[in-house]
Each structure stands twice: as structure tokens, then as C-alpha cells.
Amino acid sequence: MIIGIDLGTTNSLAACFENGQAVVIPNRLGKHLTPSVVSVDDQGTVYVGETAKERGILHPLETASVFKRSMGTDREYVLSGKKFRAEELSSLVLCSLKEDAETYLHQEITEAIISVPAYFNDHQRKATKRAGELAGLTVSRVISEPTAAAIACGMDQHGKDARYLVFDLGGGTFDVSILELIGPIMEVHAIAGDNFIGGEDFTALLANMFLEKAAIAPESLDLRTAGAVYLSAEAAKCAFSQSSEVIMACTIDGQLVEQTITLAAYEKACSPLLEKLRRPIERSLRDAGVKIGDIDQIILIGGATRLPIVRRFVTRLFGRIPASPVDPDEAVALGAALQCAMKERREEIREVILTDVCPFTLGTEVMANNGLFEEGGHYLPIIQRNTTIPVSRTQTVWTAHDNQTRVNVKILQGESRLASNNLLLGELSLPVPPGPKGSEAVDITYTYDVNALLEVDVRVHSTNVRRKVIIQNQQNRLSDEEAAQRMEQLQYLKQNPRDDEENRLQLLRAERLYEEADPSHRQTIDQAIMAFERVLSQQDRTEIERERKALTKLLDTIEFGI
């Protein structure tokens, strides 16, 4: 039997298909949710789940949580002198879920479908698969969380065609997906998200509010006390579902500290976090080419959607009450279990054909004319984000220098117009006959499948020499730590500084809009950026001001339609 697993930031769970339906597998404590927490004592004993969470209160230095945010990086967690990477800690959680499933089903479990945030990049998806393998599982598929949830909710519609917007706010990540169910076909139209916002951030904000009201500096707390404050904040956050104000209490330096926090004050403090959720929603609607009124149903999944402030935010944004046809904490795991049943060709369910999309743009590095000269470091998209997969695209490029003897193809993933700001997945090189610039044509073909397997085929026209690489391992790429830092840091720090703040502002805004824009606008923005940078280099203030106004007007038109 294959089981479906929702490997979450805060909690994880497994589900299976039995007696004609998907069911959640209870853990060894009889609960559905297993906290994604690992603790190791000085004897080497490993604790997972609720026990690890409990132990972490007293032994915070020997306990790790929220490590899903570090998947695909080289970050190491040191627990009792032992070093663990995020996928190794995740494998311990998966081992626990696997053992619980074997106890419940009375059989050995060797295969699973594991869900990941839709916006996980190539490294993060592969790290998730490695975690499963370390736990002794064959990961037959990595499925996007909103897609899994839509399957679970779609099954309840008894074949009724519908267009969904799935709002997935978990403990540490946020995804929004637009999907459409047409007969037996579940088609993903667009996805967007943010891998660094979730329920944990709403808890941390409440903890900071408590400390601020009590006039206590966070850095003055030891790890154990800070953990206790966080747990108190987590309980208070949940209490807001039943009350408009909560009393947070925690013992600090031997004294009981109490503070009353109202829901209104908390909601106001959460405004920046809520605003951070808005942009991926707008991007997904734009990429899918639909309006809010075109959505038949808004589905909330993820434990953080239980927060009243999140539900009110979604209701105000869409002008209607969202739905939760399946338990928000269980929808993903149930959908993954249904996908397992489809893979096993179970007769009890109506098979759904899934069409997913490529979450990030895939491309390569090229030279481009900035209006004055050819400059390197530009990004050439080959497969645009939100392209239905499996997909194959070919782009022809030409030699960039006289007497060039080799072509080096960098395989990149990301949305920045600058190659250096995107994720390097791999690289290959092949010879070309020397000659004048532009005399040799080279075809670059990217083929991307549903398992995030990317094949790159490069062919020289004149000689028919070709090289092929499959991006499925960890060779020939940036380190995971470098990749994670690149995704997290402000990409614009690499830009040359500008003396005038307004010039900096509009350039940064243009770079952001380039990343968010659909393909039809990207070339226009790229040309506008290069033109403005060209004017800046001439240091004519009158001309700079004129061109800045023109750039601002263009960006206003693209962003606001004015």
C-alpha cells in the first residue's frame, strides 16, 4: 500500500485509502497531527513529535523545529553534539509516520507520495525526496500541497465542474493556486507563494507584542524562557478563535507577568503580514488570466487559516465567505492519499487526471544589448513560470564573440532579469567552430516533467554536436546554503548604488514588477530599465528627471492600469 504524507512546518500527518475513502492515520498517541519537532538527548535517544515538543520546553538547545524552512540548504542543526540537516530531521519525522502507518495498517510501508509547498524550488523538492529515502520510503511522487487539497475537495463535488482558488497558509509557508476541475481533469492554471510566511510568524508577532507591553527586551530572555513565551503566544493565538481578548501569562525571572491583548490590537499589528499574503494572490490571478469573479470557490487549507483575522482578511479581499469543505489541517494528506489510490488504480474512486504547472521560470544566461553595447549576465527565459507540464521548449541562441570556441550553458531557475540573482541548477559546455560573432547557432531545449525532472539538450547547428544533462542530482550546482541565501536576501543589493533615493526606488520597483509581470510585459520593463540606467550613467539631472517620470508612468500603467 502507498500512503500519502503531508510533511508540514509545524505538524505532519499521514493518510491512506481504505474502505472506499481517504482516512487520516492516527499516530502512536491516537492523534492525527504529529508536531514536526525533533529532540536528541546526550545519550543519542531521538524524540519526535509531541514528546520532542514537550522536551524542547526544558531542553531548547537539544530540540529543533520549523526546519522545513531550511529544506534544500546546507544549514546544520546541532543537537547534543550531533549535526543534522533539515532533510535528516525531516526523515526522522517521516520514520515516525511510517511506523505509525505500519502499526495501523498491519503491513510494511515502503512507498509514499509526499506533499510540498507549490512554491518549493528544485533544491527544496529534491531535499524532500531525499528525506523520504532516508526514512526508507520510495517517494513515487512529490505533489504540490494546494493540488492535493483540491483533489480532496474536488472529490466531494461528485464530478461538478468548478474553478478553485486554494489559499494554503501553513505553519511556515504560504501558497495560492488556481485550479479548475473539468470532468475528470484537474488542471492547475497558476501558482504563487512565499516560503517564508506562515502561522509561526503570527505566533512570533504575538509573543513580541506581549514582551513589548511588558517592557521586556527579547534579547534579555534565555532560550527556555523565550520558548515558554512562544508557547503562551501560541495558546493565546488559538484562544482568539473564541474570544476578542486574551490574557497572556508567563513566569519571567521568577515573577508572573500578565498582559491583556485585544483581537483588534493584534489584527492591527498583523497588517504587514496580511499585506504580504496579498501579492501572491494578485500574481496568481494575473498569471491565470482570471478575475476574482471567475472563481467558483475559495478553499482555505493549512492550520493558520483557522485564525479569525486570516479568515476576515480573505473574506474582505474576495467579497465572499471562503469554504473549508475538508478539515484545513487534514486536506493535504487526504488529497495525497487519494492520489495514491489513483496511482494504484483503485476502482472505488473516480480517477482524476492531473495537469500541474512549472512553479518557476527556467532559462539560461545570455548577453543583451543595453542600447550602448552588449553586456552579459542577462536572463533568457525558456520555460515561463506557470507553464503546464510536462513541457518541452527550444530557444535558439548565437555565439556572442568573434572566434568563440565553446558555448557554456548555465541552467537557471527564477524570476530575476539578472542571471546572477537566479538559482543555478547546473551547467554544461560544448565546442563550436570559431568564426565571426553570431555565425554559429545553438539550440537549447528544456524538457520538464511532473516529477520536477529537468532535461537540458544543447545542439550546435553546423556540426550537430550535442550535449545532454538531466538535473536530478546535486552535482554541478551552487551549494544549498548559497542557493537559500540567494532566495532570501534582497536581490537588489548587487545593483550599483544610486545617489538619488527616488532613482533607487523606481529601479527597485521596476525590478520587482519584472519578476511579477506576465511574459508580455517583461521585455518592455527590461528595455525601460536599461534605458534609465543608460541615462543615469550620463549624469544629466534634467534628462534623468525626465526619464524617471517616463519610467514611473510606465510602471504605474503596468501595476495599477493607470
Kindly list the catalytic residues: 6, 68, 145, 168
- Angle (CA) 490 492 495, round 5°: 150
Q: Are 110 and 135 in contact (CB under 8 A)?
A: no
- Count of CB atoms within 10 A of residue 226's CB? 18
Burial of 241 (0-12, 13-18, 19+ CB in 10 A): exposed
Cell 507553464 found at: 387
Please state, in angstroms and rounded to a whole number, the distance separating the CA atoms of residues 46 and 514.
46
Q: Is 50 helix (H, G, I), strand (E, B) or coil?
A: helix
Nearest to 285 by CA among 277, 295, 275: 295
Looking at beta carbons, which pairs linking 49-54 to residues 24 or more positions away fall under 8 Å?
A: 49/93, 49/96
In angstroms, what CA-CA distances link 240 with 261, 388, 469? 10, 41, 52
Nearest to 224 by CA among 41, 57, 39, 52: 57
Enclosing H/E stretch for 51: helix 50-58
The single-letter code of the amino acid at 71 is M
Residues contacting residue 549 through CB under 8 Å, at least 6 positions apart: none
Nearest to 71 by CA among 358, 481, 415: 481
Strands 374-383 and 388-389: unpaired
